[in-house]
Structure 1
């Protein structure tokens, strides 16, 4: 250890010149950091990157650099707002001896404990020693032979006051907020390295299961064996790297010694800035491969930028000013009851966890939201069906009009849309909002597109032209084709999402039945208990509840849960009318089936109920996102009549409005805006006229319609007859018994006959 003290003295004597010395050392070492990549041991199931979570956590990672502990503890600092607003700090740890800082708190909107570690302080000799102490240390964890780790980073977490304070705060939070609350660990630079060891510690030594780690500009922390074990034990980990940031290239990767050299673990997300005339237009994110050292990501460039290291997603990741290892407490007297010091002067600020549970019963105005497991009575009576005389007459009218009916329908829409404007009725709901996941949206839009395919053989075996990309490996359990009402949906399991996926098809262009459902705007009482005044769209409600769709979907969900476990997530999606059916399905699963882990994401969905219904829905199925595209006409229907705010149709939250932008007509990209909690944000799609059909038929560059404009028909091979059955009305069901193995192989079957619906 004598060489370390000599090195510290050397740096201190050099004064400001030490930066030049350190950069010279880095440059020499980086010149050796190149070559082939060692393949890691790991499974093939990869977590899904969440862009919105990343831009939230980068704000948490930035806030930990703040020196005023009073403002940080009260979450009133200049960086304590934006996406982190409402965060509650439980513990701040300031280790004076080693110049380390971290905090633990609860983010109620994420239903998660957040642990954040600060990176290197520029003038801290202690931090620089930790950074440069590259000697590898045996990781004496059970069943991890040959795993070696960075001595300095490991010691910064394990051999200081940080670890016991963090674990204690986590235990206090779990006692109050429940054992199943998520834990998210983050940090920047050296703080990212400490976050890595913290995440592993929570899983291996504390037995935690719901742990996610996301770091920014993190250096390497161990050898290839460590990276393999880590990726298996903490798979939900993402390392965000920025352009030419130099720190992820350190300690260097020596390709001549693949077993001994430092090696990154997966999954890296490389962020590159797309600029025009030195103006950053947008950031491109590349989710890298599962080796941890993807040669097409940050390793494809020279790590020579400090500025790229100090800013991620436009957020500063450094102290407010260049300073020594100091803290500020703006109101020492007030903070005394929260603070304590140990014999070495290390400071801890601790808050007693409140007794209320974020998952408990919520009272919103006069509405008390019941436990999601409470069984509610069966909904509307099936006697309210599409067979009423006025509907039959309307069908005959449309059929007699022939091709002119399209012009008739568009003229009706145009007249109604002119009346659809005005003020927004504020909804009753809580303030805890779910986090939008851009990557999940890109995945679910592909599932939604696939449900339009008419070849049931290819859809059932998941070999259709739209059954690849982000949905590859999906296993279909049930396909439902309701011939009587021209409806189609499927249920299956996406193992990479650990979720049952339910998808509903939208309107078929030439289907009279679908157009009747779309245009049957009469509002119907929703006879769910404790939902007074809730009114819903008759046509969409009946399309889900009063057809063969609902029992087939619920039966497939139960079969999937029996095999994959009761805690598997359920994701419901659909486009256009299929989005409306998805909304009713999600509500049905929560209210009548007692499901808890239900998420709904729809594309181009019309309104489905009044404001009272929207309020109840947003409380019971809060993890819902309605994606709307630019001037898509359908989200404006049925119209919103501002003169009758209690009676008119009203969207539920949360809308995500996608607008198409272009630069010099060369670069095209979509900008997503997460809208407010009213459901009718006047700054989102309601700020423009809904005049585009093409915007309705394309979302995120994915086609949301049938392959060809055709009558309601399907294609099915005789080879899958063993999976199919028909009821007395000719409705078709393709059902797969859940396999005994978790991975099944499907073969491509030939297409033969066409069945007209």
Structure 2
């Protein structure tokens, strides 16, 4: 009977497969910042996924079962959930070597009627997740996690583990077969409804769980997900994918890792793992073969993924486990360890170790003080000096809050408001700023401005980042070709071709340099220069700062960028840090862009490499409301592993907001600008349509009334300027000292000092 049943199921599957043999797939809205597949982690998690099939709950709870050795040794179980009503099993625990909470869900028990019905019940159901229109999921898998005792028990155990081991501990969710489907829903639930961030999902032999819309949302919300598929495993092909109905069919989410065995007959000598594309339905991976194997489904990396016995929904538990267990009215069983690793003996041992340590530390400090006294005697008043840069720049938090507003303003498309500094983003800490030059490179969709901030006594240069709907900028961002940088004394320095060209080979560079010279002629040679920008604009700001120092010979140059990508290799980063030491790269939490182009630590001489100094801003929030950010000034390597590199760069929203200030255009229109007639007299265009708004003398003309004009005349008299003559328009020029005043409707403002 069993053989006939399997033949019948395989016949049905063959018919379904005939409709799924096409290769058409929908391109998913996926996170471009792809996570790196970890083979060693996979070998560890497949053992955790195997252990959840153990029916002896005593051995599983104490982690002494036959499958509880190997790479999982030392694991501590916090909670086991056995749902008798639906024949489901899962556990939650902590793997200290991974610094992670592990959640594992059991797959289908082959002789469990309930699970087979759940597996074959392919009814679509609206998924009530926020902002997920059109997302449809498998009713059985969704209900197995959301509508049973599993979800509340799992979430409760996670919260207890985070209290005991710290809020920053990672969460890894795994499962096999139907357990993989439940793991996917659990991972999504932790991110969307529980607000967890460090969530990774890895499943084995998982079936499809929803349609393409659901897969798209999932890949964005839980990007650190890998679906391991094995050779001809039947289950990843179910429910079927109908290429002729791409909008209505089931669809896998990425990223698949397809494992193929190399060997003779049943003897497996080695396995080859292929990381598939980001569509979720890569036609060159498991979809390239017929999924007709049950044995491939029941074994991954040589590990059995099934129960030890075929008995229906059975468990074994000794009496000593009664004190850890409880049952509900339906007979469902939960085993809980309330406070992991907090016994009296362990506490006493810990205190004893602390006292021993304190005693050793006391002796150590006495010894060190004795050495220091000897050194002090021989130094005779001289001091020990560290081999470091005495003039290392100091990070200025207030300056960062100011420059982020200047960086935000460069995204404004209304050039009239930007030129007169009356835009919505032109208030706050930047009030009173005077624009000297605006450059709009229509050909390459670039924008920047130069002006003077009198409160900072500085020329401010700001570059706009990528416009999200600008094809030109995206191509430039993704064009990661290395190019020799022709700077003096920079052998082996290689840089990003796109970012380098965006500054050096467009209209931006000559216009910026000319505006800087005009400003220095007007305000004096000693005025500082601050260069800033966001995203791609940050990369251009870095090249501009280097250009000002190396080719223009300026000294007081400071660069501060926000969400800047890598722009060159380690040799370039080394030269840059020596030539422009007053540089700070602000990175925000999990911003994806500072992780690009990728840093390959296995090839340190060939990979991209950030220059210092990074300042990593992490948000502290309550219920997703950001209260404040913590800023960490990182080391001088440029690639501090304890800063933004310590987390996955997976967030677009973190890239578009810094210190609560938006860093994007007001509209999604491609490379569009608005300009009123009142600034036409300041504008010019070149043959390619590029626009320049220039203020030759930093003094905009505005109409004023006679009372304000009289106020300016009185101010001149107070300063002893008896020879006063009125220019055309609204400017008053005092003859003796050449102080220039601007007449406005509400005040009289000094524009510049003696310019002779």
Cα deviation, 1:227-274, whole Å, max 9, x if unaligned, reads 122222222211111111111000111223222211111111112223
3-state SS in 1 of match to 2:19: coil
Aligned-residue CA RMSD in angstroms? 5.2
Q: 1:200 to 1:285 in 2, by over 3 A?
A: same
**Match 2:386 to one of 376, 380, 403:** 380
Q: Distance in 2 between matches of 1:275 and 1:68?
A: 35
> 1:271 matched to which residue of 2?
259
**Match 1:343 to one of 300, 322, 329:** 329
Q: Mapping of 1:173-212 within 5 angstroms? A: 173-212=161-200
Q: Mapping of 1:19-418 within 5 angstroms? A: 19-51=6-38, 52-275=40-263, 279-329=267-317, 332-354=318-340, 380-381=386-387
Q: Distance in 1 between matches of 2:223 and 2:234?
A: 25
Cα deviation, 1:331-373, whole Å, max 9, x if unaligned, reads x2321111111111111110113488xxx999897899xxxxx
**Match 2:492 to one of 454, 476, 489:** 454
Q: 1:92 to 1:44 in 2, by over 3 A?
A: closer
Q: 1:553 to 1:346 in 2, by over 3 A?
A: farther
User: Are the counterparts in 2 of residues 505 and 574 from structure 1 also a CA contact under 8 Å?
Assistant: no
Q: 1:494 to 1:586 in 2, by over 3 A?
A: closer
Normalising to structure 2: TM-score of the pair? 0.52
Cα deviation, 1:399-421, whole Å, max 9, x if unaligned, reads xxxxxxxxxxxxxxxxxxxxxxx
Normalising to structure 1: TM-score of the pair? 0.52
Q: Distance in 2 between matches of 1:308 and 1:594?
A: 50
User: Are the counterparts in 1 of residues 138 and 209 from structure 2 also a CA contact under 8 Å?
Assistant: yes
Q: Distance in 2 between matches of 1:182 and 1:461?
A: 35
Number of aligned residues: 469
Cα deviation, 1:620-652, whole Å, max 9, x if unaligned, reads 99x99xxxxxxxxxxxxxxxxxxxxxxxxxxxx
Q: Mapping of 1:468-547 within 5 angstroms? A: 504=570
> 1:559 matched to which residue of 2?
585
Q: Distance in 2 between matches of 1:599 and 1:338?
A: 51
Q: 1:457 to 1:110 in 2, by over 3 A?
A: closer
User: Are the counterparts in 2 of residues 502 and 572 from structure 1 also a CA contact under 8 Å?
Assistant: no
3-state SS in 2 of match to 1:561: strand
3-state SS in 2 of match to 1:254: coil
Q: 1:212 to 1:129 in 2, by over 3 A?
A: same
Q: CA deviation at 1:281?
A: 3.9
Q: 1:500 to 1:99 in 2, by over 3 A?
A: farther
3-state SS in 2 of match to 1:336: helix
Q: Distance in 2 between matches of 1:501 and 1:305?
A: 48
Q: Distance in 1 between matches of 2:320 and 2:537?
A: 56
Q: CA deviation at 1:328?
A: 1.7
User: Are the counterparts in 1 of residues 107 and 175 from structure 2 also a CA contact under 8 Å?
Assistant: yes
User: Are the counterparts in 1 of residues 484 and 493 from structure 2 also a CA contact under 8 Å?
Assistant: no
Q: CA deviation at 1:216?
A: 0.9
User: Are the counterparts in 1 of residues 205 and 233 from structure 2 also a CA contact under 8 Å?
Assistant: yes
Q: Mapping of 1:553-702 within 5 angstroms? A: 556=583, 558-561=584-587
Q: Distance in 1 between matches of 2:124 and 2:147?
A: 16
User: Are the counterparts in 1 of residues 58 and 316 from structure 2 also a CA contact under 8 Å?
Assistant: yes
Q: Distance in 1 between matches of 2:561 and 2:315?
A: 51
Q: CA deviation at 1:275?
A: 3.2
3-state SS in 1 of match to 2:168: coil
3-state SS in 1 of match to 2:242: coil
> 1:693 matched to which residue of 2?
none
